[in-house]
Amino acid sequence: MTNIDAGEALPETIEFNRDIRPILSDNCFSCHGPDKSKRVTSFRFDTGEGVFVDLGGRHAIVPGNPAGSEMLRRVTAAEESERMPPVRTGRKLTERQIELIRRWIEQGAKWQKHWAFVPPALPALPKTRNTTWARNPIDSFVLERLEREGLAPSPEAEPTTLIRRVTLDLTGLPPTPSEVDAFLADTSPAAYEKVIDRLLASPRYGERMAASWLDAARYADTNGYQSDGERYMWRWRDWVIDAFNRNMRFDQFTIEQIAGDMLPGATLEQRIATGFNRNHRGNAEGGIIPEEYAVEYVVDRIDTTSSVWLGLTIGCARCHDHKYDPITQKEFYQLFAFFNNVPEKGKAVKYGNSPPMIKAPVPQQQSELRALEKKLADAEEHFKTLGPELAAAQEEWEKSIDLSKPIHWSFNDGLLLHYRLDGNAADETPDQNTGKIRGPRFLDGEAAFVAGRIGGAASFDGTRFIDAGDVADFGYYDKFSLGAWVLPQGGGAIVSRMTESARAEGYSLSLDQGKIQLNLVKRWLDDALRVETESAIPAGRWHHVLATYDGSRVAGGIKIYINGKPAKLRVLLDDLNQSFKTNEPFRIGSLGGIDGRFHGYIDDVRVYSGALSSEQAELAATPDLINSIAGVQAGTRTKEQAGKIHAYFLDNHAPPAIRRAWKQVVSLRKQMEQFIETIPTTMVMEEMATPRDTSVLIRGAYDKHGEKVAAGVPACLPPLPDGVKSDRLGFARWLVDPSNPLTARVSVNRFWQMYFGSGLVKTVEDFGSQGELPSHPELLDWLAADFMGTGWDVKALQKTIVMSAAYRQASKVTPELLQKDPDNRLFARGPRVRLPAETIRDQALAISGLLVEKIGGPSVRPYQPPGLWKELAGGADYKQDSGENLYRRSLYTLWKRTIPPPSMTTFDAPARETCVVRRARTNTPLQALALMNDVTYVEAARVLAERLVSGGGATPEERITLAFRFATARRPKPGELKVLADDFHHQLAEYRQDRSEALKLVSMGEFPRNEKLDPAELAAYTALASLILNLDETVTKE
């Protein structure tokens, strides 16, 4: 090494990637780099060809000849007009940087491809002078670097420190005193390894791993943006926990999340996995342009996927070529094409999940569903065996029918209202067993009746209508069906419960220019579902009209049947975000005001409380009387007639055994339908049948389309593997192909960060030219190659890391280490960092005994400062849970993007509006205030105090020692014990003087207080426990 001006030493051999590329990337790439729109000459520094290009008789770099190299002349030019970088950029190379460039040229100017784009190979283990310290290959690489820097590793951490460190790292929870004692008592060489194996097998392991993955996947329980309505993606979160606990291969973990839906015979779990790329924000605000946000969602998928698996800032190429990395704007949109075929709209559903989504039963529900399916199949099979007996019985019954006596019938299943409109509206009542309602009455005109499709019908002249009162009050999530016979002579509302058309709030089944419309409206133009039939129905003829809505809040949940047949529909608006309930009455033949009144005849209005099936729609549209059908020869009846008389016979006249069998089938079908309603949904990825075209978007604008592109990967990386389609599944397979130089490196680096506090590449999100170089490049490559070589085994990788001597070192900082390596980039000591936000809270719950170790399920709402949501969001306020939901692990806490849980964000948890793979780490007074005053921690301290008093020993010293062990895993030193004991006695004296304050303290939180304990003594122990929970050692991984 040699020195420049007594400054930092220069290496003897200059390497382009290590020494030169960072200088060029920071100072030169913006004008001489990948972005062709900003490149001022043909000379560029990011490619080997560009570095040595002929500049018209001059060469920027002449290997071995610094004096003949134009670049060196320009960076040292005295004239500002000649000097590079230009003065206007505010950049200037230092003397050290210039000398590095000069020596690099002098040594032959060997150019290297960017290190991260070269596939990792398994390097040989380096030789070290110390031959006894290393426990596995990791240590050989760490030790070689330390010896090169003139440093020695630190001693191994104390056993209590070590078991606490590894337990927190692998489970996110502290070890119990009994677990610590068992480890200390085990003198076998494998004692530590047995602890690791136990922790890796714990269900708590999957929860710990998932907590970090949720940041990367930007998982949240709300949509984000201004409205930030709740969504339900917890089934995906639970899939992640289960995948880590099952030690799913990381390559399969990747493929299923990117394209599980495209795998042959994709399972429910594989489809759930694709929720990874549906976790992005969704805008449900009024007035947005859906196409704009459809683009934003795809861009988010690219940003997230590239950060998580490639460690590249590919999003920088959205508007222009990347300024620092060899990724063009065209290549950005080739990646865009992989994710651009999801059948989604740019505007999200305000509350709930946005399509595409699936029913995602939990394992218990899957078992119940299989059992119910079998019962139903058995019942249907039994009923089928009764077919001959049923046919014979029906044939015999039909002979007994008096064909001259009218038999009116239609199925009553779910029937709420039935208006026959046969001639006396004032006396109209629903069918039997549907309950009494207020009789309808004609308004704005005299009652008028004519011969109808079934008996009589009401006549409407565009003025008169029927007010049926406060009935059929449907809303947002209700399933319902509206049916009637109509003979149109004009247009207007058939039935409705809607305000006047200027406001148009409510629902209506209407006829508009011959087309049947169903409108469910909060606001006519931007908060409604409005669909209509593609074809008009002829005027002057009777038609049966039936519209059904399944409560899904999307237009796809609406069906319209004309004369029993499903009609093709046109969606006019598909954007319902609020309930459309209104105080208006149910009307026949009118909307709310004078507009929209029907012109024609309406007969036999029926309202059902569910969405009728196509078979039921067919029955409803069959007007024939039962006696009339019976008069038709069985062989010449229409399908509809045969179905109606058969259904009537089954319900009313079949032999008792057959009716019981049929009722069992009907009952089980209802049970199945009701059970399916309880199954949670989750958003998933799907492919459109016809792929969308993808174009380069000029300057990234959603509506400025340029050149069309096909799906593909950047040229700086290997091509898609042979035989792989250029689709999302092909892209997923490419990510984990052994030829891909990034995925394995990026992944092991992020796991390393989890254990050591920072990655081997500190910029875990950026392995490009602007990212930091790896501190131990050979170690990074060894970990990546070994990870792939051992089958992408996540648990094996983590075991290797935590078994290493490097990980086991004490974290004490000596003055020498503080001077030479303040950030522990050389790993000459063990990791020492503050615990993640979730672990701090979970640790307090575990230490106190409050923690509920239940895996999975819907997100919960623990303590939060009251009024926070209402104050900051202006909408519905936070509704706190009670009972065990207050004490679940933090990864189950409901995550509202615009107002994340304050106890989490105080300790640097991100809002999860975007992908985060490296959390910030701050130290603020607010953190100490939260630990001292947040009800979660005060209650935990009180419940811990109860544990101490009830079973922690006979003396204060014994109880203090136990509390200290709960929090730190070790026993307090004599001096520490004295300080804590003195504090306890001081607090005890204070609270005995002020018992009201004592009672106030020990009454915080909802967990029942042990009223047998003296409030003053309990308050003193609570204050002591709070002090211990606040110790720096408690909230730090030592």
Give per-residue pLDDT as tens, 515-562: 999 999 988 887 899 999 999 999 999 999 999 999 988 899 999 999
pLDDT at position 48: 72
In the chain the first and final C-alpha atoms are separated, in Å, by 36
Q: Taking 50 as the threshold, does the pLDDT of residue 434 lie above it?
A: no
Q: What distance lies between CA 439 and its chain's CA centroid?
A: 50
Determine phi and psi for 877, rounding to 5 degrees: -80, 165
Confidence of residue 426 (pLDDT cuts 50, 70, 90): very low
Closest CA to 297 of 345, 234, 353, 235: 345
What digits encode the pLDDT tens for the residues 913-965?
999 999 999 999 999 999 999 999 999 999 999 999 999 999 999 999 999 99
Element (H, E) at 834: strand 833-834
Q: Does residue 464 or residue 702 have the better pLDDT?
A: 702
The size of the chain, in residues, is 1038
Residues 245, 246, 247, 251, CA torsion sign: negative
- Indicate whether 8 pLDDT > 60: yes
- Give the DSSP letter of residue 954: S
pLDDT at 3 over 60: no
**Separation between Cα atoms, residue 368 and residue 358, nearest integer Å:** 18
**pLDDT for res 731:** 99
pLDDT of res. 410: 82
If you average pLDDT over residues 367-392, what whole number do you get?
A: 97
The token pair that represents 52 in the structure block: 């040595």
Kindly tell me if the per-residue pLDDT of 875 is higher than 90. no
| Residue 57: pLDDT over 80 | no
Report the percent of the chain where pLDDT is more than 70: 96
Q: Percent helix, strand, coil in the chain (nearest 5)? A: 40, 10, 45
- In terms of Cβ atoms closer than 10 Å to its own Cβ (0-12, 13-18, 19+), residue 403 is middle
Q: What was the pLDDT predicted at 810?
A: 98
pLDDT of residue 6: 40
pLDDT mean over 9-14: 85
pLDDT band at 586 (very low <50, low <70, confident <90, very high): very high
Q: What is the pLDDT, as a whole number, of residue 34?
A: 75
pLDDT, tens only, 107-160: 888 888 899 999 999 999 999 999 999 999 999 999 999 999 999 999 999 999
Task: Decide if pLDDT at 44 tops 80.
Answer: no
Report how far residue 907's alpha carbon sits from residue 838's, in angstroms, rounded to the nearest whole number.
Answer: 9
What is the mean predicted confidence (pLDDT) over 67-81?
82
Whether 698 shows a pLDDT value over 60: the answer reads yes
Q: What is the dihedral of CA 116, 118, 122, 126, to 10 degrees?
A: -70
Confidence of residue 503 (pLDDT cuts 50, 70, 90): low
Q: Are 583 and 387 in contact (CB under 8 A)?
A: no
What pLDDT does 24 receive? 83
For the chain, list the domains and their CATH numbers: 16-112 (no CATH), 204-351+689-820 (no CATH), 361-409+625-679 (no CATH), 413-623 (2.60.120.200), 933-1037 (no CATH)
Q: Establish how many alpha carbons lie within 13 A of residue 44's alpha carbon, considering only the half-sphere containing its beta carbon.
A: 20
Which pLDDT score is estimated for 836? 97
pLDDT band (50, 70, 90) for residue 37 = confident
Predicted local confidence at residue 67, as pLDDT: 87
User: Distances from the Cα of 474 to the Cαs of 26, 494, 520, 586, 627, in angstroms?
Assistant: 63, 17, 10, 10, 35
**pLDDT per position as a tens digit, 804-818:** 999 999 999 999 999
Buried-exposed string 22-47: b where 16+ CB fall within 10 A, e elsewhere: bbbbbbbbbbbbbbeeebeeebbbbe
* 610-657 pLDDT per residue, tens: 999 999 999 999 988 899 999 999 999 999 999 999 999 999 999 999
Mean pLDDT value across the chain? 92
Q: Residue 457 above 90 pLDDT?
A: yes
